Every structure is written in C-alpha cells, then in structure tokens.
C-alpha cells in the first residue's frame, strides 16, 4: 500500500490467510487464562482473608490467658545475692461472657463475608472464560 496512488484498489486478502493453527486446545487456553489472571489471585486472597476473619471473630467467644514471670534483684545497693533477689509469677485469665451481643453480631457479619467474596470472585472468572476461548 505504500507509495501507491490513493485511487488504486486494495487487494482482498483471502480468508485462508487469516486462519492459523493453535498449538493448544480450547480447554487449555481457558485454563491458562484462568491461571494467569491477577484479579482472580487477588480475589482468592480476599476469600482467604474473609475466612481468617471468621476465625478471628469466633475467637472472641473463647477465654484468653496470659502468663508472666519476673525475676530480679532489689535493695538499696546493687548486690547480686540470694538475699536481694525476688521473683513474681502471675496467670491472668479473662473471659467476656456478656458483651451485649456485639461479639455474636460481629461473628455473624464475618460468616457472611467469605460467601460474598466467593460470589464476587465468580464475575472476573466468568469474564476470563470467553477471553480464553477467543485467544
């Protein structure tokens, strides 16, 4: 087409010249498109985070325990001897049984979140399927 007059007709390209053979099947192309989509990987991470949030919200129903042990020396002068040393051990257990239903509401909201994340993941996957077939 270069250096031709503008009124010269453009030759038609036969359809056979536009067809080529793919080395992969249609199913392999779709699988490749699904495996290499960044938004699907981000959605999978979002589902994982939502599942972890359910565990975190459930943990608020369990008691918590803390253990501490201190050892040191005390006195008017700094002397490291058995007469000046001390130790303290403590165990603290806390269990919030009544929280006005706040923990239960937080857990119920967290349980709904993974399903919402899975449903929202379906849309990009559905969009990736036709693009794999067209490739």
Taking CA 52 as the corner, what is the angle to CA 49 and CA 53, rounded to the nearest 5 degrees?
85
CA angle 57, 59, 60 (to 5 degrees): 75
pLDDT (tens digit per residue) in 9-62: 888 888 888 887 778 887 888 888 888 888 888 999 999 999 999 999 888 888
Of 50, 37, 31, nearest to 111 by C-alpha is 50
pLDDT at 91 over 90: yes
Query: Residue 130: what pLDDT?
Result: 67
CA atoms within 13 A on the CB side of 128: 20
User: And the tokens for 68?
Assistant: 């501490």
């Amino acid at each position: 087409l270069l250096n031709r007059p503008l009124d010269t007709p453009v030759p038609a390209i036969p359809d056979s010249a536009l067809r080529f053979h793919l080395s992969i099947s249609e199913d392999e192309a779709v699988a490749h498109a699904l495996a290499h989509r960044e938004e699907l990987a981000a959605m999978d991470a979002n589902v994982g985070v939502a599942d972890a949030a359910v565990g975190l919200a459930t943990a608020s129903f369990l008691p918590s325990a803390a253990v501490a042990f201190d050892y040191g020396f005390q006195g008017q002068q700094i002397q490291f001897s058995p007469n000046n040393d001390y130790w303290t051990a403590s165990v603290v257990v806390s269990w919030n049984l009544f929280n006005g239903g706040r923990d239960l509401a937080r857990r119920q909201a967290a349980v709904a979140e993974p399903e919402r994340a899975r449903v929202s993941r379906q849309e990009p996957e559905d969009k990736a399927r036709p693009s794999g077939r067209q490739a």
